[in-house]
Structure 1
């Protein structure tokens, strides 16, 4: 880039900016057709865990274990009671002025046994009513087919580590497309594969609480990608022409910042980005795993005495099956990690972390949230989008989650507003100055809700929920009022420029 161009852009950034928490904000409006939304997930908000024919899922099973692995013995048995209060939730969305609502379908509510031989019509009716209510208020439904709640019958058979999962998932997806596809035009196959596979089957924190580090996550990854691709192809073959929808997937991860500008740290950053995002996006775009992922796992597997790589291989037929199977990619972004190469390599260490060859951390001095894993680093949003736009040119992106937690659900949540402002400013920069093709943004979350193994201790909601009240009373936080202004003005501050 010419020096004059750099100077001109710096003048623009200065002109179109104000400060929040000492950081410059881009005050240009988002494009008129840019969509703003809010999100939840079925187990985190619905409750009604054993009502109207719903079957048991993995979270029903986990939260009822004795002793409970969930903080404070919390469960999602009632959660926000959105199963009974969906009309009230839609009225909150209308109040926010959002263009869309991203929510997920409970597999075990629709197919109680996990299999498609029995469809629970009461479960189907619940989602039909929710979709009808959204459309009556001109809110577009964006539907996630799988957001971590798996029928326990399928988890008992190994869950996503078993090839058996693939066709069972496709069966479920077909039921979803058939029952809701006339009214739903945006579909997401899986939410956060890395959380499902790495945290679920590698670390044993989610799914079935069984850990198989360095093996289980790769089996899960391999099956998830094949299930995603088969579902996308099935939609393309059987439903797209009549329903005219689009199907994508949501990938999550930190921006990976090199701890210094040394070549070693830059390489470590690129490696971990490929293990985090490339592990999923690269096969979908190009048909196979990134070279550095394949090389690292293959090499370490041989040195560890395995007869074949711990990372399974796609057949040539599967490469063709998977390549090109996404109409858009969703990105869940919250925070950033610093990285540097690992020191001496312990070859006996069979784990995802060892395969990356990278050490990551979050500096103590970075701004905290209510979640230990979420440190505030707004610049990471632009850097991540820029990296994605550069590595996957032509791929349409949407931010399907971004948000900030506290531990008390305060109504005066200025820190959440500042977080949103600073992240959205960097997102706007990525669109304006880096040419990133981004068509929407989703706030996580509409409501304070059940945050998995952390129970109700972490509050992400734009609306406070009183979990001590039988009515699960919702109250707008200051951030909800701010977000409602954003959705109407496309502007993160009071006075925007065009």
Structure 2
């Protein structure tokens, strides 16, 4: 009898497992799941000096430091979306996306950088775009800041000056008042890690200030958290009851995987320095302990009498803690982590004490930082689930770069594999992912890469005055996915992805 019960139990468990696996393999999207696409103001709008728009840091950066852009070009025209927004909305509707994530140019709305002068033309453009989306049944998702703050504010220190917190909140309040009746999902700030590190600790991003020893980077991040939190509190106090929207911040997250089984702790440290830098104060009240300890240690080694990582007062900890209605994630790629061997000789070079590489089996993209490792996406989503009590997650960017192929089989394969991992994380692992955005609806200005790297599911003819759009194969594929609400098979091709040698 006992053997029969055991055997029956095994059969039942096996059947349940098979049902669960079959359910995952169906790869249908859950009921109510939102699928959208995304862009950013400087990358697509153009019209850089139209009406009374002020100069932003990317205008200045590309005009004055063209040698820092791979093709020496700029976003003066970009995709011409300032003039072609109705065409773009029609395209988004035709494909079938549920939402469109776009960002607002601070200097287009506030030409002087401050709330003393509001551009009616600039604000009207975003009112028109929002109304066009709503009229076509597309949800507008608005990013308040996607890297293009006014040059005048940068002249006063930009994100290293704490006064930017108040200026940012003033700017956000104008947008809440103007667009909040239609916009129900707000992103305060996009990818602080990218512009704080690339813009205040190097030259890959505007304003290209090489402030030594990550001091500028950490000051930038410190003020970003304050600006985000104050904006969230403003929405709570003044707009949430009448507008009923949600506010969050978006983080650029890689999947940091242990190089081998011995380096689980190192992978955790990498996660905390990447994700925890911004997320830990929001969800747990302060910077991660490992970050505080390590930055203090390396600062002392470098001769600083204080840690280069700023400290929050108790008042700021209380303001920042709990300021996320959802967890915003931009994810593209993974890295393998291992310890810096120099530390065994007492040499401290990196705050996190780590080095990274990629697996030689991972396929390369056109971007030197993007390697294809779909399993890393699931790994990251489970990390967020476990670290932050399974918050609602919105994947606000995910995509693949190439050189502009119309028959972009590799892009389709990337999307299939990454979205499949996301669906498995949702259905099998219980990750609370509510939305996903394709990056990007159009080829666009790719920051330091200019127009040489293309992420769009729509080809844009940048050398043509009309910036005409042409559908890529991936656009057709996404149209089928959205109509069926289910992943579709990848078209066959003789193409094979480029695989690069092991990266030392």
Tell me the TM-score normalized by structure 2. 0.92
Would the aligned equivalents of 2:384 and 2:390 in 1 still touch at CA under 8 Å? no
Is 1:194–2:223 an aligned residue pair?
no
Would the aligned equivalents of 1:304 and 1:347 in 2 still touch at CA under 8 Å? no
- Once residues 30 and 306 of structure 1 are traced to their aligned partners in structure 2, the CA distance between those partners, rounded to angstroms, is 52
- Per-residue displacement from partner, 1:101-154 (whole Å, max 9, x unpaired)? 000000000001111100000000000000000000000000000001010001
Q: CA deviation at 1:205?
A: 1.7
Aligned partner (choices 364, 370, 373) of residue 366 of structure 2: 370
Q: CA deviation at 1:3?
A: 8.9
- Once residues 344 and 387 of structure 1 are traced to their aligned partners in structure 2, the CA distance between those partners, rounded to angstroms, is 29
- Per-residue displacement from partner, 1:282-329 (whole Å, max 9, x unpaired)? 101111011111111112222333222110100000010000001001
Residue 383 (structure 2) aligns with: 387
How is 1:36-435 mapped onto 2 (pairs within 5 angstroms)?
Answer: 36-65=35-64, 68-212=67-211, 213-262=213-262, 265-345=263-343, 354-407=350-403, 409-435=404-430
Q: CA deviation at 1:365?
A: 3.5
State the secondary structure of the residue aligned to 2:115. coil
State the secondary structure of the residue aligned to 2:462. coil
- Once residues 475 and 487 of structure 2 are traced to their aligned partners in structure 1, the CA distance between those partners, rounded to angstroms, is 13
Residue 480 (structure 1) aligns with: 475
Unaligned residue ranges in structure 2 (runs of 5+): 1-8, 491-504
Residue 11 (structure 1) aligns with: 18
Would the aligned equivalents of 1:32 and 1:490 in 2 still touch at CA under 8 Å? no
Moved over 4 A (4+): 2-10, 346-350
Aligned partner (choices 435, 445, 452) of residue 450 of structure 1: 445
- Once residues 428 and 150 of structure 1 are traced to their aligned partners in structure 2, the CA distance between those partners, rounded to angstroms, is 36
Residue 493 (structure 2) aligns with: none
Q: 1:3 to 1:430 in 2, by over 3 A?
A: farther
Q: CA deviation at 1:11?
A: 3.4
Number of positions where the alignment pairs a residue of Structure 1 with one of Structure 2? 480
Q: CA deviation at 1:195?
A: 0.2
- Per-residue displacement from partner, 1:219-248 (whole Å, max 9, x unpaired)? 011000011000000111111111111101
- Per-residue displacement from partner, 1:331-375 (whole Å, max 9, x unpaired)? 00000000111112387766xxx0101111123432011111000
State the secondary structure of the residue aligned to 2:369. coil
State the secondary structure of the residue aligned to 2:286. coil
Q: 1:303 to 1:349 in 2, by over 3 A?
A: closer
- Once residues 12 and 441 of structure 1 are traced to their aligned partners in structure 2, the CA distance between those partners, rounded to angstroms, is 26
Q: 1:370 to 1:64 in 2, by over 3 A?
A: same
- Per-residue displacement from partner, 1:260-299 (whole Å, max 9, x unpaired)? 111xx11110000000001111101111011111111112
- Once residues 19 and 370 of structure 2 are traced to their aligned partners in structure 1, the CA distance between those partners, rounded to angstroms, is 31
State the secondary structure of the residue aligned to 1:355. coil
State the secondary structure of the residue aligned to 2:342. coil
- Once residues 53 and 39 of structure 2 are traced to their aligned partners in structure 1, the CA distance between those partners, rounded to angstroms, is 19
State the secondary structure of the residue aligned to 1:54. coil
Residue 497 (structure 2) aligns with: none
Rg larger in structure = 2
Unaligned residue ranges in structure 1 (runs of 5+): 18-25
Q: 1:7 to 1:310 in 2, by over 3 A?
A: farther
CA RMSD of aligned residues (A): 1.8
Q: 1:83 to 1:6 in 2, by over 3 A?
A: farther
Would the aligned equivalents of 1:150 and 1:207 in 2 still touch at CA under 8 Å? no
State the secondary structure of the residue aligned to 1:442. strand
Residue 22 (structure 1) aligns with: none
Q: CA deviation at 1:16?
A: 5.2
- Once residues 385 and 416 of structure 1 are traced to their aligned partners in structure 2, the CA distance between those partners, rounded to angstroms, is 21
Mean Cα deviation higher: 194-203 or 419-428: 194-203
- Once residues 325 and 156 of structure 1 are traced to their aligned partners in structure 2, the CA distance between those partners, rounded to angstroms, is 29
Would the aligned equivalents of 1:296 and 1:356 in 2 still touch at CA under 8 Å? yes
Q: CA deviation at 1:489?
A: 1.6
Would the aligned equivalents of 2:180 and 2:243 in 1 still touch at CA under 8 Å? yes
